[in-house]
Amino acid sequence: MEASPSGARQAPEIVSSVPGTFAHGVWTERHPALLRRLTEATPYGPRQRDALDALLTETLHGTVAALPEHAQDAALWNGPWDRGHYGRRWLQAPFLWAESYFYRRLRTATGYADPQEDGGARRGVDPFAPFKEAELAGEGVDEQLAALDGLDGADEAERTDALLLGALWGNRADLGFLLTSDEASGDRPLVADERPALHRLLAGAAERGAVPGRIVLVADNAGRELIADLLLLAHLLETGTATEVLLHVKPHPYYVSDAVPADVLAAVRRIAAAPAAAGRAGRLLTGALREGRLLVRSHPFSCAPLGYAAMPGDLRADFASAALTLLKGDLNYRRLVGDRHWPATTPFAEVTAGFPGPLGALRTLKSEVVTGLAASTAAALDDSGEEWRTNGQHALIQVREAEAE
């Protein structure tokens, strides 16, 4: 393994070309299932259906085609995000890069992005909206919001812990995972549990950071997961743990159920419409949005095919200004540590050394990469016989309390 600029030793990048691996199955099982669901949920015309079929065929049997120069973000994809993979087989490119580019191309195929012959009638229409709307309207959300009443008698530390775990396990519910897997129960011990360190960071947030009391949360999925994230943020604002929150979401539809700004507003409305404790949290969030204490960010780099080590200066400044950054979900974890075949015991602090400021990762395991496990934990999981890295049945909370010198 070669040494990286941060000093961490680099493991091989994950690619998709090996049959039987998780990454290979994403292309051969998950993406075909996803495109079937898309065409069942939305009455796309012949142009969109043909484009989706052509995209699937290209990914399985063809080579990666570059965006045309007239595409809205061609300057990024054919510039700083181009890593020399155009013209290669899709499954030979790094998994993170290729999967991200697949979703960019899907936005063109569905008419969300770039000019089409239908006059742009579908331009800006989230192709995943039917899935997001159905989840947000479901009984599961009612139960989730009603459960907040059960915390009324708990002290602040207990409420914080419960809401952290709710935000963590909410990550198991994204549609892309459910297409090919059973939903996790959420009742297993965490494979890495650094909540004491996270509680310390939260307790001192109001006195720390370039903007004291600023907490950044980098969201993952819409629907139930985003609601859990927002309930946690409402609690942090209500208790004064956070004086200001920056909520980072995607600027465009991405990875099936990833949250975009419209999803934040829909989730806040859903929470505010609930009775009792959830309704109070929703009204607090509504007020925080109006007052500028809850700020929604959507940086283009959130949809980049690159790790956070390559983030631009303005995004780095956002993270560096915070007392704490919380990164949610599997994709953010892959981008944080590098989508590589790390030994599971590789120190989390080592592979996140370049990230500015204190951070916490809340993640349900749904892909191969993992770091920071105790040797005994990794050995027991490896001996269990289950696909523990990818089956969504395990989760972790990891913390790096200070930026490496």
Residue 76 confidence (pLDDT): 96
Q: What contacts 179, CB < 8 A, 6 or more positions away?
A: 30, 33, 34, 37
Taking only the tens place, the pLDDT of each residue in 345-381 is: 999 999 999 999 999 999 999 999 999 999 999 999 9
What's the CA gap between 401 and 262, in Å, rounded?
A: 32
Q: Which amino acid appears at position 378 of this protein?
A: A
Residue 56 confidence (pLDDT): 97
Residue 243 CB burial class (10 angstroms; 0-12, 13-18, ≥19): middle
Strand-strand pairing, 244-248 and 214-218:
parallel
Residue 118 confidence (pLDDT): 65
Comparing CA positions, the residue from 315, 288, 157 lying closest to residue 230 is 288
CB atoms within 10 A of CB 130: 14
Mean pLDDT by 10 residues, the chain (405 residues): 48 96 96 96 94 97 95 94 97 98 97 76 91 93 93 93 93 49 58 97 94 97 96 98 98 95 98 97 98 98 97 96 97 98 97 96 96 98 96 95 64
Taking only the tens place, the pLDDT of each residue in 33-92 is: 999 999 999 999 999 999 999 999 999 999 999 999 999 899 999 999 999 999 999 999
What's the CA gap between 25 and 236, in Å, rounded?
A: 39
Q: What contacts 16, CB < 8 A, 6 or more positions away?
A: 23, 24, 26, 27, 90, 91, 92, 93, 95, 98
